[in-house]
Chain A
Amino acid sequence: MKEVDGGVVVKVTEKQIVLFCNNGTFKNIPRSKNHFPLIGERISYKGKTKLFQPKGWMALASIACLLFLMFTMVPIKDAEAAYIVAFDINPSIEVYLDENLKGMSIVSLNSDGSQIVSKINYKGKDLSQIVNLIIDQCVKQHYLSSDGNSLVATTIIPTQDERKITQSQLKSLIQTSLKQHKVTADIDVELGSKKMVKVAHENNLSVNKYKEYKDLKDQGVDISLETARSTPMNQLVKKEKKKNNQSDKNPSNNKNQNKNNQSNNNQGNNKSKDKQNPGQAKKNENKPNQNNQGQNNKGQNNSNKEK
Chain B
Amino acid sequence: MKDFQLEHDIEQAKNGNELVRHQLINRYKPYILNIVRHICKRVVSWSDEESSIGLIAFNRAIDTYESGKGRTFINYAYFLINRDLINFFHQKNRNNKILSLDYQPEGQESLITEIEIEQAMRDYQVKVESIELVDEILELDQQLNEYSIGFEELEKSSPKHRDTRETIHHIVHDFMEDKECMNELFRKKRFPTTLFVRKTGYHHKTFERYRKYMITLILIELHPEWEHLRRFVK
B160 touching A25, Cβ below 8 Å: yes
B150 touching A8, Cβ below 8 Å: no
B31 on interface, CB distance cutoff 8 Å: yes
Contact residue among B31, B165, B233, B234 (Cβ-Cβ distance under 8 Å from A39):
B31
Contact residue among A21, A36, A40 (Cβ-Cβ distance under 8 Å from B129):
A40
Contact residue among A8, A11, A27 (Cβ-Cβ distance under 8 Å from B141):
A11
A42 on interface, CB distance cutoff 8 Å: yes
List chain B residues, Cβ under 8 A from A21: 232
B128 touching A24, Cβ below 8 Å: no
Whole-angstrom distance between the alpha carbons of A27 and B159 in the complex? 11
Contact residue among B152, B159, B234 (Cβ-Cβ distance under 8 Å from A28):
B152
Whole-angstrom distance between the alpha carbons of A127 and B216 in the complex? 70
- Per the 8 Å Cβ criterion, residues 187-201 of B in contact with A are none
Interface range for A: 20 to 34
List chain B residues, Cβ under 8 A from A10: 137, 140-141, 151
Bits for B140-182, please: 1 = Cβ < 8 Å to A, else 0.
1100000000111011001110100100000000000000000
Measured CB to CB, the nearest residue on chain A to B152 is: A18
A26 on interface, CB distance cutoff 8 Å: yes
Whole-angstrom distance between the alpha carbons of A22 and B229 in the complex? 10
Whole-angstrom distance between the alpha carbons of A235 and B120 in the complex? 98
B85 CB, min distance to chain A CBs, angstroms: 13
List chain A residues, Cβ under 8 A from B134: 38-40
Whole-angstrom distance between the alpha carbons of A58 and B158 in the complex? 21
Given contacts A11-B151, A28-B155, contact A39 B232 (CB under 8 A): no
Whole-angstrom distance between the alpha carbons of A21 and B162 in the complex? 13
List chain B residues, Cβ under 8 A from A41: 127-129
List chain A residues, Cβ under 8 A from B127: 38, 40-41
B165 touching A23, Cβ below 8 Å: yes
B34 on interface, CB distance cutoff 8 Å: yes
B42 touching A34, Cβ below 8 Å: yes
Whole-angstrom distance between the alpha carbons of A221 and B34 in the complex? 89
- Per the 8 Å Cβ criterion, residues 1-55 of A in contact with B are 8, 10-14, 16, 18, 20-28, 34-42
Contact residue among A20, A28, A36 (Cβ-Cβ distance under 8 Å from B37):
A36
A12 touching B42, Cβ below 8 Å: no
List chain B residues, Cβ under 8 A from A23: 162, 165
Measured CB to CB, the nearest residue on chain B to A29 is: B155
Contact residue among A18, A36, A40 (Cβ-Cβ distance under 8 Å from B41):
A36
B38 touching A40, Cβ below 8 Å: no
Given contacts A39-B30, A40-B133, contact A34 B41 (CB under 8 A): yes
| Residue among A12, A24, A36 having the largest count of chain B Cβ atoms under 10 Å | A24
Given contacts A8-B137, A11-B141, A11-B150, contact A37 B155 (CB under 8 A): no
List chain B residues, Cβ under 8 A from A24: 165, 232-234
B137 touching A40, Cβ below 8 Å: yes
List chain B residues, Cβ under 8 A from A22: 232
A22 CB, min distance to chain B CBs, angstroms: 7
List chain A residues, Cβ under 8 A from B232: 8, 20-22, 24
Measured CB to CB, the nearest residue on chain B to A54 is: B160
A299 CB, min distance to chain B CBs, angstroms: 71
- Per the 8 Å Cβ criterion, residues 25-64 of B in contact with A are 30-31, 34-35, 37-38, 40-43
List chain A residues, Cβ under 8 A from B40: 36
Measured CB to CB, the nearest residue on chain A to B160 is: A25
A44 CB, min distance to chain B CBs, angstroms: 13
B108 on interface, CB distance cutoff 8 Å: no
List chain A residues, Cβ under 8 A from B233: 24
- Per the 8 Å Cβ criterion, residues 61-110 of B in contact with A are none
List chain B residues, Cβ under 8 A from A40: 127-131, 133-134, 137
B137 touching A18, Cβ below 8 Å: no
Whole-angstrom distance between the alpha carbons of A18 and B150 in the complex? 10
Measured CB to CB, the nearest residue on chain B to A31 is: B43
A13 touching B138, Cβ below 8 Å: no
Interface contacts beyond A8-B133, A38-B35: sample of 7 additional A-B pairs, CB < 8 Å, sorted by A: A25-B213, A26-B154, A28-B152, A38-B38, A38-B124, A38-B128, A40-B128
Q: Residues of A at under 8 Å CB distance from B?
A: 8, 10-14, 16, 18, 20-28, 34-42
The 5 closest A-B pairs by CB, nearest first: A40-B128, A40-B134, A25-B158, A26-B154, A11-B151
- Can you list 28 residue pairs at the A/B interface with Cβ under 8 Å? A8-B137, A8-B232, A10-B140, A10-B141, A10-B151, A11-B151, A11-B152, A12-B34, A12-B37, A18-B152, A20-B137, A20-B232, A22-B232, A24-B165, A24-B233, A25-B159, A26-B155, A26-B216, A27-B155, A34-B42, A36-B41, A37-B38, A38-B34, A38-B124, A39-B31, A40-B128, A40-B137, A41-B127
